[in-house]
Amino acid sequence: MRRDPRAYLWDAREAARRVAEFVKDANEEDYVASDLMRSAVERQLEILGEALGQLEKANPEVARQIPQLRAAVDLRNLLIHGYAKIDDRIIWNTATTDVPVMARELDSLLRQLDG
């Protein structure tokens, strides 16, 4: 049985929201200094990328509507397989700049699919 593509979108959106919640009262220095915050953000970025990767397989037509899908999947792969190459400052910028935009895009897409 195929999973509804909205479930992947929901998982991705929730991961993006969690990232935003984790970093909302922090600055870059706080982020770099906190093993806990970095681990939490990285885990949610892994979930975000995995959900979008699965969406791409399950429903390429819906996946094509997410401009940063490939970047999210690639980041997930880096976090999982290239952990020694992770640059905390790049992850911070992604979490504070790219992820909020993606969360809005995912919200919009979910509303379209529900409507």
Catalytic residues: 76, 81
CA atoms of 19 and 99, how far apart (whole Å) = 8
Could you please report the per-residue DSSP string of 53-87? HHHHHH-HHHHTT-TTHHHHHHHHHHHHH-GGG--
Kindly state the DSSP code that residue 27 receives in the 8-state scheme. -
Q: Are 50 and 101 in contact (CB under 8 A)?
A: no
CA atoms of 73 and 10, how far apart (whole Å) = 16
